[in-house]
Amino acid sequence: MRILAIDPGNQQSAYALLDADLRPVKFAKKPNDEVMKDCITILEENTTVVVIEMIASYGMAVGKEVFDTCVWIGRFIERLAPETYKLIYRREEKENLCGSMRAKDSNIRQALIDRFGVVGTKKNPGWFYGVSKDVWAAIAVGVTYHDKVEEERRLKLINDKY
pLDDT tens-digit series, residues 52-95: 999 988 788 889 999 999 999 999 998 876 677 899 999 999 99
Please write down the HEC assignment for all residues of 81-112.
Answer: CCCCCEEEEHHHHHHHHHCCCCCCHHHHHHHH
The tens digit of pLDDT for each residue in 93-139 reads: 999 999 999 999 999 999 999 999 989 899 999 999 999 989 999 99
